[in-house]
Amino acid sequence: MESPSNHAGTPSSGRSGSLLVVGTGFMVSGQITPEARSAMETADRLVHLVSDAATRDWIERLNPNNESLYDAYAEGRPRTESYEEMVQRILAPVREGASVCLALYGHPGVFVYPSHEAIRRAREEGYPARMLPGISAEDCLFADLEIDPARQGLRSYEATDFLVSGRPVDPTSGLVLWQVGAIGVATFHRRAVWRTDGLAPLVETLRGHYPVDHEVILYTAATLPVARPEIHRLRLQQLTQPPEGVEVSVAATLYVPPAREAKIDTAALERLELALTAVGVELEHDAAC
């Protein structure tokens, strides 16, 4: 495996250990890049955390010198404790001089505290460390819902953080809220739905910006080649009591489409010498509306 020392952004102390963090995407091995797969195959130690048994089996066949971090989770255990254990287990072989590859499902830097923290500590201790990109659940959402975030813009928040931090809402752009089935939950649970009573305050907050009958989409990416993504379109007020057959799981992401078009600043257009059609706006669009 190529040494990451030239890409880590921090000079190496010359120690032999190294850390390379990769993402496996979803669909078992179907969304992994050739670069990430090569890193997993050739690492001295392959440490991994993935979401399904099929992917774990594939990883274990790919490199026999592997270790799963899944047992760091325990029912009711604070996730911060699990994450700290993971970081220590990732860094232990690095400190022993091994080239370590950490493989995580989806994108390894999206909603993954241990990957960023392990890289930070490794560099702090003088070991080269870097991350390769992967396919995240949001990338799958763009494809499955056929959304172009450049068209109307996009805001993306973890659902609990969205509520407790008073994050801004722009009804003229899309809104992505992660982990809506685990709002306010700080511990790990081995069940599909961790909590649903957090949906009431979420809906209350969103109703301040969107009509009660505004269409929202509950989305869960497919994780196996034989599966299909879960896409449920419902009205905002239905979130607290979803229709039969619709489950708000911890893996579900909520997409809230724009409620209205953004106003066009004609003075800005004139300064930029742009025509309305150049920014995808109909010529008859009234900037005052």
Catalytic residue annotation: 79, 83, 105
Going by C-beta distance under 8 Å and a sequence separation of 6 or more, which residues neighbour residue 176?
138, 141, 154, 155, 156, 157, 253, 254, 255, 256
| Residue 83 and residue 115 in contact, taking contact as beta carbons nearer than 8 Å | no
CA-based angle 77:81:86, to the nearest 5? 115
| Residue 158 and residue 46 in contact, taking contact as beta carbons nearer than 8 Å | no
Q: Which two tokens stand for residue 267?
A: 């003075």
Q: Which amino acid is at 101?
A: C
Alpha carbons 92 and 216: distance in angstroms, whole number: 44
Enumerate the β-bridge partners of residue 215. 235
The full length of the chain comes to: 289
Nearest residue to 159 via CA among 138, 183, 136: 183
CA dist 75 to 88, 140, 189, 191, 221, Å?
20, 29, 5, 9, 24
The SS3 assignment for 217 reads strand
| Residue 269 and residue 180 in contact, taking contact as beta carbons nearer than 8 Å | no
